Structure 1
């Protein structure tokens, strides 16, 4: 089962189709043809490989008025060893090349230096002269994005930077740059990217950013306000349960679930007051509808 981090990394390349070409050229020094559009194509390669095996993403670079494919890039996110990959990666490349009839590159993305070395091993296909050497984007190849304007122009790259370098000394600066970019994102990306960035930062950087958001930092965005509000709701819900338990009241599972599911601060405030006087935890919920 792919992890949340794996799926989030894949989404970065799908949400910004030019990112694969940018990383090939800027980070890995691979020549990329001039193109007018980068398009996400189907990564279902079930004509040859089983339906449960498909590339993470396939990006096709298009040129001219006819939108002719100039290059295809198979993007594979790899966070741990998988002994199947040396066998299926050549299939992904050849099948994508056959489908789009253009030169095809294999770009493997990882945020683990050890995995970068594992992924870089040449794959001997067994055919004379055909040795597939994956192009690997590891943490060392990802730029450190601490400039707010650059983060605004390429938010996916800012998130990738946090994943690769958020545990280092630049973690705080990377997080601040992302906050500047977060305001310009749609709600869904803002939520997903924001959680991903904050979870990637070292503890000190995360505490600093949380303090900035609570204090109304100048780069405060809708994401920051949302993040702070979620924290207040979570703390208030926990306070309700803690109060009940401190009074020696048994909290049934359905009551606990209902309290933790609440997103209404006014409701939670009411429950905190009720928790001080009721004699049965179930009375907490009956008061909400009275």
Structure 2
């Protein structure tokens, strides 16, 4: 089952594919900075009744002239069956695109991250025909960003860092640094990263800290009239940002929208409705599933 935190973990790489290169550079594994990034179809299904879908698939054209595929998977827990799926992905992608492929696995739990590093061997003990070694980002190797200046310098990495370390004792400091950094962005971009952070944190103490921080932004304006004006303007700005994020999510999931549906999203000024559509789009396969009417309780 795809969850909101699962979706946020790999969607950050769609917002800024260079984040993985910068992260591994800080870990002493230098990968060339991308000069061009293409979002490819995540569908890895062949002509058989088995559907396989990669979380995110990118084509990376790097500064040193190399071109390769980056398959990004978000893993929440150990899953012995997933190892064979990853082997399939790498083989399939090399066959389909004729390019080398790198598997990147993102985790929020250190034990899961350590497990995901493998290596995973396939064959018999006397002869290993294949070995899969994912690159893994998790709490054990993603930097903890608690300094607002560091967060400003690389906001996508700060978002991913906050999500990855959401259960750590530094969560409060990290989220405060991220909140401060987001104030340096334009409203639309900041809204996307606010939503990704909220989705990635899921539920728990860190999620509540983040919600409280987002509520504090308007606490300095005390008058009733000021609060009303701010609320109205924020609702409009939030709706615009949410609509932009929703379009990005729908595009990444290869869901087709007709003109009426696009207009319905772009003209909506209801943040709660847009959030509901966003949640449905995380698992939907058609536009009808996103816009389905809620059953009445009466």
SS at match of 1:39: strand
C-alpha spacing 1:22/1:59, structure 2 compared with 1 (3 Å) = farther
Question: What corresponds to 1:22 in structure 2?
Answer: 22
C-alpha spacing 1:96/1:31, structure 2 compared with 1 (3 Å) = farther
C-alpha spacing 1:172/1:197, structure 2 compared with 1 (3 Å) = farther
Question: What corresponds to 1:85 in structure 2?
Answer: 82
Question: What corresponds to 2:60 in structure 1?
Answer: 61
State which drifts further: 205-214 or 157-166.
205-214
Say whether residues 1:186 and 2:188 are aligned partners: yes
Segments of 4+ in structure 1 off by > 6 A? none
Structure 1 residue 53, shift from structure 2 partner: 1.3
Deviations 1:66-121 (A, max 9, x none): x9752222111000233321111011112222333333211111010121122123
Question: What corresponds to 2:5 in structure 1?
Answer: 5
SS at match of 2:80: coil
Whole-Å separation in 1 of the counterparts to 2:141 and 2:175 = 19
Whole-Å separation in 2 of the counterparts to 1:68 and 1:48 = 34
Whole-Å separation in 1 of the counterparts to 2:271 and 2:199 = 23
C-alpha spacing 1:21/1:119, structure 2 compared with 1 (3 Å) = same
User: Which consecutive residues of structure 1, in runs of 5 or more, have no partner in the other structure?
Assistant: 231-260, 264-290
Whole-Å separation in 1 of the counterparts to 2:115 and 2:35 = 34
Whole-Å separation in 2 of the counterparts to 1:203 and 1:45 = 33
Do the aligned partners of 2:21 and 2:32 also contact (CA within 8 Å) in 1? no
Q: Which residues of 2 match residues 1-290 of structure 1 at below 5 A?
A: 1-27=1-27, 29-33=28-32, 35-47=34-46, 52-63=51-62, 70-126=67-123, 128-183=128-183, 184=185, 185-186=187-188, 188-196=191-199, 202=206, 205=209, 209=213, 212-213=216-217, 215-216=219-220
Do the aligned partners of 1:108 and 1:134 also contact (CA within 8 Å) in 2? yes
Aligned length: 223
Deviations 1:5-36 (A, max 9, x none): 00111211111111233334333x43424542
Greater relative contact order (Cα < 8 A, sep 6+): 2
Q: TM-score, normalised by structure 2?
A: 0.62
Whole-Å separation in 2 of the counterparts to 1:214 and 1:197 = 23
Whole-Å separation in 1 of the counterparts to 2:17 and 2:207 = 31
Q: TM-score, normalised by structure 1?
A: 0.63
State which drifts further: 131-140 or 146-155.
146-155
Do the aligned partners of 2:121 and 2:130 also contact (CA within 8 Å) in 1? yes
Please identify the structure whose Cα radius of gyration is greater.
1
C-alpha spacing 1:262/1:203, structure 2 compared with 1 (3 Å) = closer
Whole-Å separation in 2 of the counterparts to 1:49 and 1:156 = 38
Whole-Å separation in 2 of the counterparts to 1:157 and 1:200 = 22
Deviations 1:112-150 (A, max 9, x none): 012112212322122745211222212121111223343
Do the aligned partners of 1:148 and 1:181 also contact (CA within 8 Å) in 2? yes
